[in-house]
Structure 1
Amino acid sequence: MGPLLEETIFRSKLPDIHIDNRRPLHEFCFERLAEFGDRPCLIDGSNGAVMSYTEVDLASRRAAAGLRRFGVGRGQVIMILLRNSPEFVLAFLGASRRGAVATTANPFYTPAEIHKQAVASGTRLIVTESCYVDKVRDFARERGVVVVCVDDPLPEGCRRFSELLEEEEKTEEEEEEIDPDDVVALPYSSGTTGLPKGVMLTHRSLITSVAQQVDGENPNLYFHSDDVLLCVLPLFHIYALNSVLLCGLRAGAAILLVRKFEISAVLELVQRFRVTVTPFVPPIVLEFVKSSLMDAYDLSSIRIVKSGAAPMGKELEDKFMAKLPNATLGQGYGMTEAGPVLSMCLAFAKEPFPVKSGACGTVVRNAELKIVDPDTGVALARNQRGEICIRGEQIMKGYLNDPEATRNTIDKEGWLHTGDIGFVDDDDEIFIVDRLKELIKYKGFQVAPAELEALLVAHPNVTDAAVVPMKDEAAGEIPVAFVVRSNGSQITEDELKQYVAKQVIFYKRIGKVFFVDAIPKAPTGKILRKDLRAKLI
């Protein structure tokens, strides 16, 4: 390896480890079952019910058998349309054991948004709650999709989740032959541009990502079997699915499942169950800082506060940590397509390293990272800003049924181009400063401008439209629209905002509309988003 290559490809400060990723994900997660089978695995925050590791393992085996009885075959897709719950976990693990694929969807999506994902993914069975059945009923009836409901009252035409878990009479269990390169999870992401696409994450990629975080003599993210992990971030998002659930299972920790974020309820659960690890996103941290409730609870058990999905400023860090003097706060950096974790704060390691405020950690072990000039593709040295690229067995297999988007994201040498602009400093720490990709981040949720633009231009009184992010203290960013009215149209800002709001989930709603004579575009027709963002400063 020449000096130039050594200078421009960055690796973890931690040594690489052996990762046995040639097996199924569920087998990897429950490898130490004999060691902590009687320990608590899942705690249902809504009622305090606890399932041990042995109970979860057995229930997931029954779920796999139930999926087979319900007609789900190897490689076929189930949609998990649930809030955080034991049923979510069992459905996901059951799909893994069955050799099936789980596509996770936000239950607060509109029926149209759910329909798009279900059709694109080829969903054969949906696991959901009774209150969301109306969102999928028409689609399920049209396409012969089985709907499994986890609660009562059981809506007409649905199957019970308890039926899925029924014990079979025969004692011999049919274990699926699973290839490590089979897809197991299919979250949807907008990537660097365009509409949401199915991200194919395999057994190999998720095992690699989990091991990069919690395995080794000095794990980058030190979880142990005495830990209680707060899972208030939604499991339908890859951050919680991977870095909370799967990492927690691998380490033998207890995972406290919380259906929704409500400050006083979360604080009560932290105190009651002596929570030790709290993965958050910056908007949740901001709500805690603004609240006067933290001082009323004993939060001394918390030892790790992990933030991800969006940057967190130093002022917010300092205010939050003043209330949690016993805890270590750090940030990570991820992207669904990257498996999702690219980097992790080394203050979380079993033998920690000093870290800097504002950094999002160093690249995970068993992976390579480089910074490239966005125009020339040339790899850059330390302290030079460019596009962040990652390579390793943790990255996605590709986008479902979209080879062009896959080629535009993963190059011929296996580098995944993130669309984020950053640099690596002299201590191997990664800083993100900007982004090439068009994505808007509202409280950590992805908003694709192209999706909102398509809705706007479909309105008869709109000729053209562009959507860009505007800074917002509480949300991080909100989508705002620049709109060209049709000739003679007097449509108002409120009318357009209501028109969009009826068709999308809450975090995709337009925050403000600016009427303009024309949308600035390059000769190629590409929207000049930087020009529009400059108008907001």
Structure 2
Amino acid sequence: MVPTLSSHQPRLSVSAISISAPKLSILLSQGTVHKKTQHLELILSLCNTSPQLMDTMRKQKEEFIFRSKLPDIDIPKDLPLHSYVFENFSKYPSKPCLINGANGDIYTYADVELTARRVASGLNKVLHTEVPSLLLPNPFSTPAELAKQARASKSKLLITQACYYDKVKDYAQENDVKVVCVDSAPDDQCLHFSELTQADENDMPRPEFSPDDVVALPYSSGTTGLPKGVMLTHKGLITSVAQQVDGDNPNLYFHSGDVILCVLPMFHIYALNSIMLCGLRAGAAILIMPKFEVGYLLGLIEKYKVSVAPVVPPVMLAIARSPDLDKA
């Protein structure tokens, strides 16, 4: 008599009972033995573990794969993140790409690609293979937190604004770290951003990379706790963006005709990934608002005909409760 196998039955030793591989194969094919993975150890304790038995186990193991009726999304495996995001830029070189809500400056897709390549070339000359850090803007970080992040990431260049220079000045001087300010250089120890943007965009070697290399290290508290670095790879971010805007049924319906509002801080992954990278991939215009203020936001939405406004609940509540809403 073959004992009934269940997850509650005590484990039996091989010396207590033995079932041959052919007999077990018959039992499995007839469904007499429960075929869940968690029972394999118990089954093996009742049987002679021969290669024939193991082959039977593999064949009987069930797989449940749920597939969409839509075609698979093509996710490139041999492109670095910037090449993937820039892939469609040539389709709309004169189309607005980034709009500075603070001063009205508009940068086309051709402008953005050229500047990005020049900055990459400039960074290559200054850093080679070292790590740069961005502090643009994050008024909540303390000097101690920024020093900890720069030390953990082994950053050799800090890119920030003049108003945050004092937060990183001491750490930079004590650790031989360069600082670049994107607006104005407070002293001669700080480099101006033009030293990067004036580099030759053609003087940039093709970098060697692996899809599993870390491309971004945003620091996030994960809602609670102290900030910690989140290692994001080329493959991971490309896959995330592709799932959101590529394919026949994307999660985000961004189109090249959209004007997308970016009022959320870009040190948060929501703005960096789902607004900036996805918007660039889709060819949309991205309206950047450096600081949230309800009346100003409503004016920008009307002026630039914003079609998509990704926000978080507190921002939506502030808009809904604002008396400026009736004036818009």
How many Å separate the matches in 1 of 2:62 and 2:210? 38
Contact 2:156 2:177 in 1 (8 A): yes
SS in 2 for 1:256: strand
State the structure with more CA Rg.
2
Partner of 1:532: none
Letter in 1 for 2:107: M
Partner of 2:54: none
Partner of 1:47: 103
Letter in 1 for 2:78: R
Contact 2:119 2:199 in 1 (8 A): no
Cα distance per residue 1:46-85 (max 9 Å; x no partner): 1110111111111111101111222x133x32111013xx
Partner of 2:128: 73
- Measured after TM superposition, the shift of residue 26 of structure 1 is 0.8
CA distance change for structure 1 residues 12 and 258 in 2, over 3 Å: closer, same or farther? farther
> How do 1:231-242 residues align onto structure 2 when only pairs under 5 Å count?
231-242=262-273
Partner of 2:172: 140
SS in 1 for 2:271: helix
How many Å separate the matches in 1 of 2:60 and 2:147? 52
Letter in 1 for 2:166: D
Partner of 2:150: 118
CA distance change for structure 1 residues 120 and 36 in 2, over 3 Å: closer, same or farther? same
SS in 1 for 2:97: strand
After TM superposition, the score normalised by the length of structure 1 is 0.48
How many Å separate the matches in 2 of 1:213 and 1:147? 35
Q: Which runs of 5+ in 1 are unaligned?
A: 84-105, 298-537
- Measured after TM superposition, the shift of residue 194 of structure 1 is 5.6
How many Å separate the matches in 1 of 2:225 and 2:295? 38
Letter in 1 for 2:192: R
- Measured after TM superposition, the shift of residue 179 of structure 1 is 1.9
Hey, which of these two has a bigger chunk of strand by percent?
Answer: 1
Cα distance per residue 1:232-282 (max 9 Å; x no partner): 001111110000000000000011111111101111111111011101111
> Which region of structure 1 is more displaced relative to structure 2, 267-276 or 170-179?
170-179
Among 136, 150, 167, which residue is 1:82 paired with? 136
* Matched-pair identity in %: 56
How many Å separate the matches in 2 of 1:261 and 1:236? 15
- Measured after TM superposition, the shift of residue 295 of structure 1 is 2.4
Q: Which runs of 5+ in 2 are unaligned?
A: 1-58
Partner of 2:87: 31
- Measured after TM superposition, the shift of residue 162 of structure 1 is 1.1
RMSD over aligned Cα, in angstroms? Answer: 2.3
Aligned residues, how many? 270
User: Do residues 64 (structure 1) and 117 (structure 2) align?
Assistant: no
Partner of 1:207: 238
User: Do residues 272 (structure 1) and 303 (structure 2) align?
Assistant: yes
- Measured after TM superposition, the shift of residue 22 of structure 1 is 2.3
Hey, which of these two has a bigger chunk of helix by percent?
Answer: 2
How many Å separate the matches in 2 of 1:224 and 1:59? 23
After TM superposition, the score normalised by the length of structure 2 is 0.77
Contact 2:70 2:248 in 1 (8 A): no
CA distance change for structure 1 residues 194 and 11 in 2, over 3 Å: closer, same or farther? farther
User: Do residues 128 (structure 1) and 184 (structure 2) align?
Assistant: no
Contact 2:160 2:180 in 1 (8 A): yes
> How do 1:47-446 residues align onto structure 2 when only pairs under 5 Å count?
47-70=103-126, 72-74=127-129, 76-83=130-137, 106-152=138-184, 154-168=186-200, 171-190=202-221, 195-297=226-328
How many Å separate the matches in 2 of 1:4 and 1:261? 53
